[in-house]
């Protein structure tokens, strides 16, 4: 994961911007560069993934004085490169992001909707003197913005880079670009213009084909690639598909509490089936509690679910960084938002299921996507998310919700049916959904709750009132996280929409804890 930053004025010294930007150095340990421009500046930390030579260093510049920084992967860029070369453009590196300025020259603002990519970018268009920023439609690559004391906009990959420079820090909206004071939506990936009424067999065939292609795209890297394997359906499918495509053993990694890990046994089954070189990382209560403060600073959130689920992922990625040469990790995020959580079994209608999916996809950049990005990038690794593939998301969102809602007595039925056969063992393919934070070990959440009980006294409700300005804490655990968050990001709670919770308007979902453990349909998920 690279890091980018940009400012659209010259009233803040470049040295001060560089100092603030150093907070994101872990995202790009392979080199840094700043570029002063007429009326602004661009800054970049590099994690070399494609085009490893020095020529791949950003910012990229054009003869007319334009410049761009990008944290992203442009899939299918080699074909685009050949087409641009045929038009007379020349390239000096193997970096996919070097294509961005020629693409901007060719297509202007229409470029963003043409990209098959996970990206966040800031571009200076010299002929007009405009700064342009944009983010992919799912929001897989992070971008934040705020305004300086002079009212000029700043952008950065992480909110901690904007602390002290902007009073109010907000996430850049996915599927939008900014230019000349306006945010313009170029694609709403959750919006369905035409419902797909394909047959069940056709839907499953398309899901299978599109997910395989999504994984294949994300195997293209000039550095070693690894895989997070929880033993759940989603990560196991990504790993199984990749192993078949590559035709060789892949490197898989799983994490669990040393006392009661649930995921590890399933991850081991999946790894044995696909023949991966499997690695298990065990963590303890001490590991969890000692990492909590730093983790919340890294995440930039107070959300209960995000913090719980991040703990195992962060500690696992730290071990991967310390013990291997892996630089890219494929993950299983975004499947739940598309195909359903345990609580969406309670959806009162297909239309309600679809509305919930729309909400979750539009907000996923603040929750599961944020978790994957920060846990991985904090350890100088890059995340790739096959279930976030634009074509895959568009198709699954378009499928008739009557086919997606759980009328099969098995969640994610379409995905399971699509890969029925010898792709995975039946125990994995049909495994009940378990929240990652629970499946790492129930003790992880129990340890965090017990710690909150010790730290937050009888006056916790009074202490929570000071944060009523946005998403007031409602448990001792949520107060603990919020107090840590406010120490690092004072007054910035609006960066997150609210606490991630089941839809409390649905019967069976009016709960006070986000864990699926509290739902009546949890069933065998904890076994």
Q: How high is the pLDDT of residue 250? A: 98
Nearest to 136 by CA among 391, 339, 494: 391
Q: How high is the pLDDT of residue 116? A: 96
Nearest to 401 by CA among 348, 362, 326: 348
Quick one: tokens of 8?
């659209």
Report whether pLDDT(433) > 70.
no
Pick the CATH number of 3-185 from 3.40.800.20, 3.60.15.10, 3.60.20.10, 3.40.47.10: 3.60.20.10
Q: How high is the pLDDT of residue 432? A: 78
Q: How high is the pLDDT of residue 518? A: 81
Report whether pLDDT(522) > 80.
no
Range list of H helices, 247-349: 263-274, 285-299, 304-323, 335-339
Quick one: tokens of 287?
């590991």
Among this protein's residues, is 176 annotated catalytic?
no
For helices 442-455 and 285-299, the axis angle rounded to 10 degrees is 80
Q: In what order do the strands lie in the sheet with 130-135?
A: 60-61, 67-74, 117-125, 130-135, 176-179, 182-185
Annotated catalytic residue, options 2, 70, 423, 509: 2
* Phi, psi (deg, nearest 5) at residue 219: -90, -5
As a whole number of angstroms, the distance between CA 366 and CA 190 comes to 15
How many other C-beta atoms are found inside a 10 Å radius of the C-beta of residue 127?
Answer: 9
Q: How high is the pLDDT of residue 503? A: 93
* 409 band by pLDDT with thresholds 50, 70 and 90: confident
Tell me what the pLDDT averaged over the chain comes to.
Answer: 94
Report whether pLDDT(448) > 90.
yes
- Minimum mean pLDDT range among 213-222, 246-255, 439-448: 439-448
As a whole number of angstroms, the distance between CA 490 and CA 298 comes to 15
Q: How high is the pLDDT of residue 521? A: 74
Q: Is 200-526 assigned to CATH 3.40.50.620?
A: yes
Q: How high is the pLDDT of residue 63? A: 94
Q: How high is the pLDDT of residue 437? A: 67
* 525 band by pLDDT with thresholds 50, 70 and 90: low
Q: How high is the pLDDT of residue 516? A: 76
DSSP state of 316: H
As a whole number of angstroms, the distance between CA 399 and CA 468 comes to 39
Q: Do domains 3-185 and 200-526 have the same CATH topology?
A: no
| Secondary structure of residue 484 in the 3-state scheme | helix
Q: How high is the pLDDT of residue 410? A: 86
Domain ranges of the chain: 3-185, 200-526
Can you tell me the mean pLDDT for 164-170? 97
pLDDT digits (tens, 9 = 90+) for 349-390: 999 999 999 999 999 999 999 999 999 999 999 999 999 999
Q: How high is the pLDDT of residue 105? A: 97
Within its chain, how far is the Cα of 476 from the centroid? 27
Report whether pLDDT(122) > 60.
yes
Give percent of the chain with pLDDT exceeding 90.
88
* Phi, psi (deg, nearest 5) at residue 32: -135, 150
Q: How high is the pLDDT of residue 527? A: 54
Q: How high is the pLDDT of residue 509? A: 92
Quick one: tokens of 41?
């500046």
Report whether pLDDT(115) > 90.
yes
- Minimum mean pLDDT range among 52-56, 222-226, 301-305, 394-398: 52-56
Report whether pLDDT(88) > 60.
yes
| Secondary structure of residue 195 in the 3-state scheme | coil
This prediction's pTM: 0.96
Q: How high is the pLDDT of residue 434? A: 66
Q: How high is the pLDDT of residue 388? A: 97
Q: How high is the pLDDT of residue 523? A: 63
In DSSP notation, 325-341 reads ---EEE--TTHHHHH--
Can you tell me the mean pLDDT for 402-423? 91
Report whether pLDDT(345) > 80.
yes
Quick one: tokens of 353?
């299921």
pLDDT digits (tens, 9 = 90+) for 457-506: 899 999 999 999 999 999 999 999 999 999 999 999 999 999 999 999 99
As a whole number of angstroms, the distance between CA 45 and CA 29 comes to 7
Nearest to 434 by CA among 525, 518, 309, 344: 525
Exposure b/e, 2-32, CB count within 10 A at least 16 = b? bbbbbbbeeebeeeebeebbebbebbbeeeb
As a whole number of angstroms, the distance between CA 338 and CA 351 comes to 14
């Amino acid at each position: 994961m690279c890091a980018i930053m940009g400012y659209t004025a010259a009233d803040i010294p470049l040295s001060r911007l560089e100092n603030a930007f150093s907070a994101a150095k872990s995202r790009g340990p392979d080199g840094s560069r700043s570029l002063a421009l007429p009326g602004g500046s661009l800054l970049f930390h590099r994690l070399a993934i494609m085009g490893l030579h020095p020529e791949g260093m950003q910012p990229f510049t054009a003869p007319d004085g334009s410049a761009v920084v990008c944290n992203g992967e442009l899939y299918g860029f080699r074909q685009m490169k050949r087409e641009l070369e045929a038009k007379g453009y020349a390239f000096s590196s193997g970096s996919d992001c070097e294509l961005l300025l020629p693409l901007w020259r060719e297509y202007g603002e229409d470029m963003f909707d043409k990209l098959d990519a996970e990206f966040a970018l800031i571009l200076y268009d010299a002929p007009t003197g405009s700064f342009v920023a944009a983010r992919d439609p799912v929001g897989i690559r992070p971008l934040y913005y705020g305004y300086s004391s002079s009212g000029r906009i700043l952008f950065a990959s992480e909110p901690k880079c904007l602390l002290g420079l902007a009073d109010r820090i907000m996430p850049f909206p996915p599927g939008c670009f900014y230019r000349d004071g306006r945010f313009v939506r170029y694609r709403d990936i959750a919006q369905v213009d035409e419902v797909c009424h394909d047959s069940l067999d056709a839907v499953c065939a398309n899901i299978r084909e599109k997910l395989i292609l999504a994984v294949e795209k994300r195997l293209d890297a000039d550095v070693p690639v690894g895989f997070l394997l929880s033993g759940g359906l989603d990560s196991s499918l990504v790993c199984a598909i990749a192993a078949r495509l590559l035709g060789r053993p892949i490197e898989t990694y799983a994490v669990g509490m040393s006392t009661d890990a649930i995921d590890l046994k399933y991850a081991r089954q999946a790894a044995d089936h696909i023949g991966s070189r499997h690695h298990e990382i065990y963590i303890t209560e001490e590991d969890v509690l000692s990492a909590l403060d730093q983790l919340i600073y890294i995440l930039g959130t107070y959300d209960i679910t995000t913090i719980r689920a991040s703990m195992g992922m962060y500690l696992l990625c730290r071990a991967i960084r310390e013990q291997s040469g892996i630089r890219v990790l494929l993950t299983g995020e975004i499947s739940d938002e598309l195909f359903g959580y345990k609580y969406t079994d309670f959806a009162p209608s297909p239309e309600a299921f679809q509305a919930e999916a729309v909400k979750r996809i539009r907000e996923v950049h603040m929750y599961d996507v944020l978790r994957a990005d920060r846990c991985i990038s904090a350890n100088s690794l890059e995340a790739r998310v096959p279930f976030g593939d634009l074509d895959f998301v568009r198709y699954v969102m378009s499928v008739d919700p009557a086919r997606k809602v759980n009328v099969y007595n098995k969640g994610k039925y379409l995905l399971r049916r699509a890969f029925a056969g010898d792709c995975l063992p039946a125990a994995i393919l049909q495994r009940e959904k378990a929240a990652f934070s629970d499946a790492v070990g129930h003790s992880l959440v129990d340890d965090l709750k017990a710690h909150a009980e010790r730290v937050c006294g009888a006056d916790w409700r009074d202490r929570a009132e000071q944060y009523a300005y946005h998403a007031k804490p409602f448990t001792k655990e949520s107060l603990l996280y919020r107090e840590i968050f406010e120490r690092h990001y004072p007054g910035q709670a609006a960066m997150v929409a609210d606490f991630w919770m089941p839809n409390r308007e649905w019967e069976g979902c009016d709960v006070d804890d986000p864990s699926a453990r509290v739902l009546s349909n949890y069933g065998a998920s904890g076994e």
